[in-house]
Amino acid sequence: MYHIQIVFHLSIGEKLLYYCKAVISNRTLFLIITLLSFAVAGFLLFGKIDPDSFAYLYIGRGVVGGQDMFVDFADNKGPVLYAFFALLYFVFGNNFNLAILFGNAILDAFAIYFLFRLLSIYGFKINKLKISNLALILFFVLLYKSFSISYFLGGLYSEQLGMMFLVLSLWKYEKKNYFISGLLFGLSILTRVSFLLFIIIFPAISLIRKYKISSIASFGLGLSICIASTVIYFALSGSLNDFIYNNIFINLQYSSATTDIRWLRLAFMSFIETRIIFVFLYVTILIVIGLFLSKGKDKSQLLLITIIYIASVASTFPGGIFYAHHFIQFMLITFIVFSFFAKKVFWGLPIVLLFWFVIANYLVYLAMPKQTFSKSISEVERAEYIMVVPFYPQFNFVYNKKSPDRYFHGFYLFDVFNKNSIKDIERHKLISKDKLKKTVFMMVEFNSEDKLLNAEYLRKFGKAFKLTKQKVYDYENGKIEIYSSDL
């Protein structure tokens, strides 16, 4: 690939830096990216945090307290993610805002830094401490982080941790440290199963670069050891069935249940969050143009880029309902394509336009009302357990309470998210009478979907648990109904 240097009109400051011939070392590059990542992550203090982040932190809290991440909790992510959130909880405790902010910032800093290191192997190098290079770094940081801090929600996501491991794995593979690369790729899969679809990239690199077949074998050995050791651990701990059920079957059920609305949701998100469809179409167009126009060495590079593109699309779009944070999985191919094509095509205007789409994203996020819950709910404060319906696990931290069941939220108990929810429904009904007597059920209603899901929960469990309404708390943006069990 080509050495890239984006040229802007030189300011006086840039001329001074240029004449000083300041060099960006790897350490300096990491420091710049980290500072920018933390600065942007600070927006999370002023916007709405995604309930997903609280769900993962809730599981992490349980792991720190000695609970099993799969037997005692129902969710569809991998053990590496929960271990990371357990570490965050161990460090930050119930300071959930700081935990989520720190995790968001540090994961993106490592991912973006090693993306630059990977691109340097491909010829994209930033050697000089110039205003144009600093602007380029800022642009990439803002673009990357705009998918974990999007229009409506921000937070800390499985895609961020998985992408960090994937980029590290690719970097190690290109450095010919194949065994470590396999281990790191295994960690990305054990964070989020969809990263498995990136596996085609590694044999493609070996074939296109004409590496020895032992490179694939060594990579496969590292990957196998990572996965096998995890399976053995959960088998010995007696939670292998729950590990498999949560990671495979719940994901399959969620995917099949949301097929009808997935593409409608994607179209909606693309229309509202314009940078998503803009990046996707622009990357696609550049690859198609490149395949037709490239020759010689560039042709083989474009072949590898096309394979990475296919893997990125396969990992990003299929699955459940599409959200902006899923597009983090598309950032690998985006960075590679932007670096490869920078001097080949006129990209000034499109990138300027994309920059303003990204800025608009952050402005909208900051303008959105931050969800606050100022009223104290005495019934909840007195309860030993709370069951929050349909999906607001942040209340478990607001009131520092645990759920009576592994289904600490109702997500997988609803037909719209879990097509074959019978097994989950029956397991949820097994809550003991002793726990039910100590549990307050919070029916949270802040939108029309909440109302429908609360009604579904009451249909399925109201009679089984003998739930009766105790009180209603009204808020500006909705209400919370309090129920208790008469069993």
Tell me the per-residue pLDDT of 215-241, one tens digit each, with 9 for 90 and over.
999 999 999 999 999 999 999 999 999
Query: Is there a single domain that holds both residue 128 and residue 237?
Result: yes
pLDDT at 10 over 50: no
Range of the domain at 163: 12-367
- What torsion do the CA atoms of 374, 367, 49, 358 make, to the nearest 10 degrees? -170
- Mark which of 315, 347, 367 sits at the end of a domain: 367
Burial class (CB in 10 A: 0-12, 13-18, 19+), 386: buried
CA–CA gap between residue 75 and residue 413 (Å, rounded) = 11
What's the length of the chain? 487
Q: What angle do CA 332, 359, 349 make, to 5 degrees?
A: 75
Question: Tens of pLDDT along 108-145?
Answer: 999 999 999 999 988 787 877 788 789 889 999 999 99
pLDDT band at 295 (very low <50, low <70, confident <90, very high): confident
Number of domains comprising the chain: 2
State whether 349 and 426 are in the same domain: no
Token couple for 238: 């007696």
351 and 401 in a common domain:
no
> Residue 6 domain-assigned?
no
Task: Quote the pLDDT of residue 6.
Answer: 39
Domain presence at residue 362: yes
Last residue of a domain, one of 367, 387, 413: 367
Q: What percent of the chain has pLDDT over 70?
A: 92
Statement: the pTM of the whole predicted model exceeds 0.85: yes
Do 342 and 8 contact (CB within 8 A), yes or no?
no
pLDDT for position 296: 66
211 and 359 both lie in a single domain:
yes
* Average pLDDT value for residue range 360-367: 94
**Residues 304 and 436 occupy one common structural domain:** no
Residue 373 lies in a domain: no
Nearest Cα to 141, choosing from 333, 366, 363, 331? 331
**Residue-averaged pLDDT of the chain:** 89
Q: What is the mean pLDDT of residues 445-461?
A: 95
3-state secondary structure of 482: strand
End-to-end, the C-alpha distance of the chain in Å comes to 69
400 in a structural domain: yes
Structure tokens at 20: 């000083």
Residue 12 scores a pLDDT above 80: no
Tens of pLDDT, residue by residue over 147-197, are 999 988 999 999 999 999 999 999 999 999 999 999 999 999 999 999 999
Residue 148 counted as domain residue: yes
Say how many CA atoms lie within 13 Å of 32 toward its Cβ: 23
Task: Give the rounded percent of residues in the chain with a pLDDT score beyond 90.
Answer: 69
314 and 395 in a single domain? The answer is no
Domain co-membership, 251 together with 392:
no
Query: In the listed set 307, 341, 367, which residue is the last one of a domain according to the structure?
Result: 367
Greater confidence (347 vs 100) lies with 100
Reduce the DSSP state of residue 235 to 3 states and report it.
Answer: helix
| pLDDT above 60 for 392 | yes
Q: How far apart are CA 300 and CA 39, in angstroms?
A: 39
Phi then psi for 187, rounded to 5 degrees? -65, -35
Encoded tokens for 406: 């592994």
Q: What is the pLDDT of residue 470?
A: 95
pLDDT value at 8 more than 60: no
